[in-house]
Amino acid sequence: MSAAAGAIGARRRRVEDERLLRGQARHVGDLTRPRMLEAVFVRSPHPAARLAPGAIDARRALALPGVAAVLTAADLPHAPLLDSVRIDGLRKTPQPALAAERVRFAGEPVAIVLAERRAQAEDAAAAVAVAWEPAPFALTPEQAAAPGAPLVHDEIAGNLLYAERKRYGDPDGAFAAADLVIEQPLTGNRQSAAPLEGRGCLAEPAAGGDGLTVWASTMGPHLLRRRLAQSTGIPEQRLRVIAPDVGGSFGLKIPAAPEEIAVALAARAVGRPVRWVEGRREQLVAAPHAKDQRIALALALSRAGELLAVRATLVGNAGAYSFNSASALIEPYLGAGLLPGPYAVAHVEAEIRSLLTNTSPISPYRGVGWTQPHTARELALDRAARALGIAPAELRRRNLVTRFPHRSATGMVYDSGSYVASLESAVELVAGAAEAAPSEPDVRVGVGVTTYVEPAGWGSDGALQSEWSFASHDAVRLQVDPTGGVLAAVGTPSQGQGHATTLAQVVAEELGVRVEDVAIVAQDTDATPVSTAGTRASRVATVTGGALALAARRLRERLLAVAAALLDEPAPLTLADGIVRGGARELTVRELAEAAHFDPALRARLAEPDLVVTQFHDPAAAYSNGAIAAVVEVDLGTGGVTVRRLAVVEDCGTMLNPTIVEGQAAGAVAQGFGGALLEDVAYGPDGLPRGDSLGGYLLPRIADVPEMAFAHHVSPSPLTVNGVKGMGESGAIAAPAAIACAVADALAPERFVVERLPLTPARVLAGAGLLEEGR
Amino acid sequence: MSLPPLALARPATVAAATELLRRDGARALAGGQSLVPLLAARLTPAPTLLVDLGALPGLDAIARDDDGWLRIGALARQRAAERSPLVAAHAPLLAQALALVGHPSTRNRGTVVGSVAHADPAAELPAVAVALDGVAVVAGPGGARRETPVAALIAGPGRTTLAPGELIAELRLAPAAAGERQVWLEFAPRRFDLPLVGAAVRLAADGDARLTLAGYAEAPLDARLGPLGRPALEQADDGGGPARRSRALDRAAATAAVERLLAAHPPRDDARAPAALRRRLARTLALRALAKAAADA
């Protein structure tokens, strides 16, 4: 390792923040192009409806001021979006950019309205008359599976996208031999990633050609380019996708949005730039949702508290399409693979089903399919602990993996970790917090602690261990420019993760230059090598970061070769802080770069003083771990739950920047907090989401999110470059379990079994037997 | 969404404002913290004319009448009232509730009177205005002026008895009596939100109690609970400090009175909360507010 010691692992301030906090960020909504039109979609107000030919009448809309066009599917021929995931038995449903004969969920777009101004487009969209013929619909997997249920897609019998039973070991034998079986149902909530910035894009046709430039609020510019090429027929090399500043995504902006395709098609059709900026109601109703699993889980244990087997039926509510880029299976299928969690359990059985319903499709969201099965398993473990008379933390300790590498029953190879130590740290951090007397006599205190493992930094190997087909390698380009500055081009832009800081730290450390001399460019498909997957799945630190580290090592050798040629110095050369030293002589990287680019004398000695390196990388699988402990107050007078203390213990191996690790963990925990107590899209019987504004969809605000105490363990992965693991999901997997376990603990005298999330006041009071109904 | 197409007028006098408000489909705009988001979300019918009261002179006062009542002008911001020493001294209930209305940014723009006129059943200020025997001073066309109790002004969710052309120029609130305790408590699952239920308690020095509930019914539910405690006693501190008041709440009587009241009035039932939850919240908040009012200051 170079002598620019401390770049990796330093608590550096994020270089992004000054600009972001001063409001100088430039999002899609800040961009304009000459002659740009604003787009607004006409969306279905029904969960299911048919449209006869000519059902969309735009005459009144077209007469309104500023309106340039109203385009429907018939005006914009294209190839529909299709999931590219390859899993045997998964049935797929192509999804059009604009629906034609029928709509399958409330919010599905059927027309795009283009006008000079946004307000004009909104008014015109409201003036488009659509002769909807409402049709029967199914909102839940239960409804969708019922005999005679309306088919969401005629060709998918029983609305069943996927059904599979997976057995590992001998679960039947283990359950038969168990002293204790705990059955735990859990109906998980449907959540919205609800990023501060909704989706949106701006498409501009190339002057005089068939190309297109698309600025999009996306996590994966190359992924979107691929989808645009497939749908529009424009070859990829003529498509340029640029992700400007993106205000959060959390998985939502991995898939290509049908709206993005429609905007690109519309821009081409009218020959003008077209911009779409999603509104909040639009985002909550029409954008993909997340989570929403029905789980029936059972644990088999011995009297001594040994976890013998886990069995679960995981039913995903897929929404109206199998969905593109990341399949609806991202929920129950991935959840099944992580059923063992951090525990050394030998026998696992998972029955996985995914059903189409007339709801918005399911896309990835932080924690993906792992969150809700983890919550069910942890709730069941707490009930087992009570039944066995063993403290919940102790029951977990007895079953945690302690020897590495550990091959889990489902085939994941946990490379390293601090499972027991993390649990102990979390317990320590909340020690004493449960003792203080509550403010009111009818307020109870409860404690929940949970340990988790996070499949982090998926390369292709990690994807395989999750039995998921997923090309997850990256290429990066690293170059020293003539003035000695370092430019790193990567295909994984940041939506708030701070890549311009952390990736620069990696390069600085490995190359031997100052962090501030490294610039990261990540947002432009014309400027960056292909990233097959983009930013997602906690993969950037290991895949992109690993590629950059390897590239920097090679570039460093080239710089030293240039220095050796210039100095004609046989003594060993060192490179640190941008200065090469050899014997008594010094050369700056700037001088090296100047010479490499412009010094003919150097060329005489060194044939190719090339300071551009590209590097491919596809890392081995690595697994992060951690623990979360929550102490809550449950108010029996109101049903309100207040988190008194929240301990967050994270082990992601070598940390690139502990401040950013904590920021990531805090954000993930905040989202888990919302999932545990507040957030629910909640379709009503009319097939429309109740949570259609931030007044109805209770996203926690900063004042609601509890203070957190952090602790770190560092178990470097033996398999990755520098021992780095990913850590983006972390708290989003485990925080709901910690909080739900704590609430159940507070209501243990009433034998409260958490069966639904979120834990609303009505559900808490109903669970305590204090309310006749608990919806 | 963008605001719907609408006309905006910014009259300079109350007389001009009342004339404009006589027009069909005209609506008054004060701080705009409730109305504008609703309009932008297209959740309320677009007015043909929005009459911005912001330029009307002399309506931002927070003062006291000769008879001791608080006067809050139509344009007095919630934040100003929250920080007003007069409000703190004479209407502590309003001060407590204001601290929970929206958040500081919305309170900087939102007005006390506007919130009362908006008549959201869950909002704090209509209930507080009723609890404090609020009287709306209503200006009408042609210089007409009338006074009406807020309890009679609020006709239902989002509805008032104001006639076309009328606006509330001022709100008058009864000052706290000597030895009276006022407590506001509310509950919402998330901070800064409208409460599911809010409870205002006024406990007089003689033990007489009054309860006003927000969020429970279609309009503030206001009831006198009768005497619920012994009169206040003056007690000297051991250290010879200032005299402290103490009064004992008759918990059984309080519980019975609250339950009697709630039994007689079925709670609202909507997507935010089932009726049974509202009933329990009302009971809990009322009893806690009564206990707090009775406890030593």
Interface test with A, best of B277, B280, B285, B287 (most A CBs within 10 A): B277
Q: Is A701 close to B1, i.e. CB distance below 8 A?
A: no
Q: A433 and A343 share a domain?
A: yes
Q: What's this model's pTM, rounded to 2 decimal places?
A: 0.96
- Identify whether B109 is part of a domain: yes
Model pLDDT for residues A57-85, shown as the tens digit of each residue? 999 999 999 999 999 999 999 999 998 88
Model pLDDT for residues A350-393, shown as the tens digit of each residue? 999 999 999 999 999 999 999 999 999 999 999 999 999 999 99
Per DSSP, the three-state class of B268 is: coil
- Identify whether B31 is part of a domain: yes
Model pLDDT for residues A96-139, shown as the tens digit of each residue? 999 999 999 999 999 999 999 999 999 999 999 999 999 999 99
**Which residues of chain B neighbour A276 with C-beta distances below 8 Å?**
none
**Which residues of chain A neighbour B191 with C-beta distances below 8 Å?**
701, 703-704
Q: B74 and B165 share a domain?
A: yes
- With vertex at residue B151, the alpha carbon angle to CA B45 and CA B200, rounded to the nearest 5 degrees, is 105
- Identify whether A757 is part of a domain: yes
Q: A698 and A715 share a domain?
A: yes
CATH code of the domain in which A491 resides: 3.30.365.10
CATH code of the domain in which B200 resides: 3.30.390.50
The Cα-based distances of A604 to A165, A301, A480, A598 in angstroms read 67, 74, 20, 12
Per the structure, the complete domain to which residue B21 belongs is given by: 7-55
- Identify whether A340 is part of a domain: yes
Residue length of chain A? 775
Q: B254 and B206 share a domain?
A: yes
Model pLDDT for residues A210-233, shown as the tens digit of each residue? 899 999 999 999 999 999 999 999
Q: Is A684 close to B5, i.e. CB distance below 8 A?
A: no
Please count the other Cβ atoms lying within 10 Å of the Cβ belonging to residue B179.
14
Picking from A264, A262, A270, the residue whose alpha carbon sits closest to that of residue A111 is A262
> What does the pLDDT read at residue B243?
46
Residue window 677-706, chain A: list those with CB within 8 Å of chain B: 677-678, 684, 690, 693, 695-696, 698, 700-701, 703-704
- Identify whether B1 is part of a domain: no
Chain B nearest-CA distance from A639, in A, is: 8
Q: A277 and A335 share a domain?
A: no
Evaluate whether A542 touches A456 at the Cβ level (below 8 Å): yes
Evaluate whether B3 touches B36 at the Cβ level (below 8 Å): yes
Per DSSP, the three-state class of A563 is: helix
Number of separate domains in chain B: 3
Domain boundary among B125, B140, B173: B173
- Identify whether B2 is part of a domain: no
Band the pLDDT of A712: cuts 50, 70, 90: very high
- Identify whether A160 is part of a domain: no
Q: What percent of chain B has pLDDT over 70?
A: 93
Q: A302 and A438 share a domain?
A: yes
**Which residues of chain B neighbour A700 with C-beta distances below 8 Å?**
190
Q: Which residues on neighbouring strands pair with residue A535, listed in sequence order?
A: none
The two three-digit tokens of residue A267, written as one number: 């821009």
**Which residues of chain A neighbour B190 with C-beta distances below 8 Å?**
678, 698, 700-701, 704
Q: Is B187 close to A640, i.e. CB distance below 8 A?
A: yes
Chain A nearest-CA distance from B195, in A, is: 12
What is the C-alpha separation between A732 and A146, in angstroms, rounded?
32
Q: Is A281 close to B1, i.e. CB distance below 8 A?
A: yes
Q: Is A761 close to B273, i.e. CB distance below 8 A?
A: yes
Q: A115 and A258 share a domain?
A: yes
Q: A65 and A35 share a domain?
A: yes
- Identify whether A194 is part of a domain: no
Per the structure, the complete domain to which residue A83 belongs is given by: 31-135+199-246+253-286
What is the C-alpha separation between A22 and A125, in angstroms, rounded?
35
Domain boundary among B36, B55, B74: B55
Tell me the mean pLDDT in the region A502-506. Answer: 98
Q: Is B189 close to A760, i.e. CB distance below 8 A?
A: yes
Q: Tell me which residue in A279, A639, A696 faces B277 most closely, judged by beta carbons.
A: A639
Model pLDDT for residues B230-288, shown as the tens digit of each residue? 655 555 455 544 444 556 789 999 999 999 999 999 999 998 999 999 999 999 999 99
Domain boundary among A263, A286, A309: A286
What is the C-alpha separation between B51 and A684, in angstroms, rounded?
37
What is the tally of helices (H) and strands (E) in chain A? 20, 32
- Identify whether A145 is part of a domain: no
Interface residues from chain B to A (CB-CB < 8 Å): 1-5, 41-42, 103, 187, 189-193, 196, 271-274, 276-277, 280-281, 283-285, 288
Q: A440 and A486 share a domain?
A: no
Chain B residue at shortest CA distance from A684: B271
Q: Is B277 close to A765, i.e. CB distance below 8 A?
A: yes
Please count the other Cβ atoms lying within 10 Å of the Cβ belonging to residue B208.
16
**Which residues of chain B neighbour A281 with C-beta distances below 8 Å?**
1, 41
Picking from A271, A273, A155, the residue whose alpha carbon sits closest to that of residue A214 is A273
Q: Is A701 close to B192, i.e. CB distance below 8 A?
A: yes
Evaluate whether A86 touches A333 at the Cβ level (below 8 Å): no
Model pLDDT for residues A583-597, shown as the tens digit of each residue? 889 999 999 999 999
> What does the pLDDT read at residue B233?
53
The Cα-based distances of B103 to A458, A522, A691, B40 in angstroms read 42, 38, 21, 20
Q: Is B271 close to A771, i.e. CB distance below 8 A?
A: no
CA B59, distance to chain mean position in Å, is 18
Chain B nearest-CA distance from A593, in A, is: 52
Q: Is B284 close to A704, i.e. CB distance below 8 A?
A: no
**Which residues of chain B neighbour A684 with C-beta distances below 8 Å?**
271
Q: Is B277 close to A761, i.e. CB distance below 8 A?
A: yes
Q: Is B189 close to A279, i.e. CB distance below 8 A?
A: no
Least confident of A23-27, A723-727, B27-31, B238-242: B238-242
Picking from A623, A478, A461, A655, the residue whose alpha carbon sits closest to that of residue A549 is A478
**Which residues of chain B neighbour A762 with C-beta distances below 8 Å?**
273-274, 276-277
Q: Is A640 close to B271, i.e. CB distance below 8 A?
A: no
Band the pLDDT of A5: cuts 50, 70, 90: low
Across chain B, mean pLDDT equals 93
Chain A residue at shortest CA distance from B185: A638
Chain A nearest-CA distance from B191, in A, is: 6
- Identify whether A83 is part of a domain: yes
Least confident of A533-547, A754-768, B73-87, B225-239: B225-239
Q: Tell me which residue in B189, B280, B285 faces A770 most closely, judged by beta carbons.
A: B280
- CA-only gyration radius of chain B, Å: 20
The two three-digit tokens of residue B41, written as one number: 């979300």
- Identify whether A144 is part of a domain: no
- Identify whether B113 is part of a domain: yes
CATH code of the domain in which A265 resides: 3.90.1170.50
Q: A633 and A720 share a domain?
A: yes
Q: B47 and B73 share a domain?
A: no
- Identify whether A169 is part of a domain: no
Count A/B contacts: CB-CB distance under 8 Å: 73
Q: A609 and A695 share a domain?
A: no
Residue A488 has pLDDT above 80, yes or no: yes
Q: A296 and A232 share a domain?
A: no
Q: Is A638 close to B285, i.e. CB distance below 8 A?
A: yes
> What does the pLDDT read at residue A2?
41
Q: Does A66 touch chain B (CB under 8 A)?
A: no
Tell me the mean pLDDT in the region A506-522. Answer: 97
Domain boundary among B173, B206, B226: B173
Domain boundary among A602, A617, A632: A617
> What does the pLDDT read at residue A538?
92
The Cα-based distances of A175 to A182, A389, A408 in angstroms read 10, 20, 18
Greater confidence (B247 vs A615) lies with: A615
Q: Is B5 close to A693, i.e. CB distance below 8 A?
A: no
Number of separate domains in chain A: 3
Band the pLDDT of A151: cuts 50, 70, 90: very high
What is the C-alpha separation between A128 and A62, in angstroms, rounded?
9
